[in-house]
Structure 1
Amino acid sequence: MTTFPRDEEAPDAPAAPHSLHIRTGGVLDYDTSTAFLVRVDHALGKRPAHVTELHLDCRDLETIDSMGLSTLLQIHRTATRHHLALHLDNRPARLERMLTVTGTLDHLTRPAVAEPTGSPADPAASGDEPRTGTDEPVM
């Protein structure tokens, strides 16, 4: 069973007014990941508007399975949608290895990149104009 702290914010988190700190521990797996995701969503829902970073303190994380990894990816998507940079702090070796083996380490830990303002179907969003000339064969 996952051991969560009594408080949603990590008690030993540095006082940074632009950061939200959430501590996780124990097991993040099929049985516990939904509760953790709800907890993170709840904390994000009541965060002050000036918060720009979400820090998950993983120092006490004992085990993580594929559902736990899926939960971290969902939290990343949610953080990105809210324009928050996600930080996985104090990653234990087992988490580091899982992220490396699955190829998600860079995705979950690199700095957030601003998304284009247009929709993906909008040529202006990518900077590419549709080709209308006959200089290239159509296949």
Structure 2
Amino acid sequence: MSLETELERLRRSLNERAELGDLLEAKREVEHFVSYASAQQAQDACAHFESAGWSVDRSDGQDANGLFPVRVYRRQAIDAESAERSIRAIYAINEQHHGYYDGFGAMVVLAEGSEPQGFFSRLFGRQGSDG
């Protein structure tokens, strides 16, 4: 997936999170998933990510597609500027090591005492007056 496509996907995700009540400026662990064709590429990329201030978890083996998966993560806010800067940094390092970007994830952070909205309300068993 191209960087521009991923940034557009990020913007949609942040808008959806904001509508659900996510406090985007709150710090939380944000993780990115990348993979590499060889164990050496994965090892080199991990060293690069770590030198850039990221933490990494890597698998010792290949996934079902024959790639070596790596989880890159750190604690940060996911406001639009911070999140975009992170994805750009991940893409830049990943590109240098010929990796594949598989997406990102982060917990939703709600204001203390607030009720989850929409899907999260149903997920946590709390439905509002709309059903």
Per the normalisation by structure 1, the TM-score is 0.29
Q: Which has the higher helix share?
A: 2
Give the structure, 1 or 2, with the largest relative contact order (CA under 8 Å, sep 6 or more).
Answer: 2
Per the normalisation by structure 2, the TM-score is 0.30
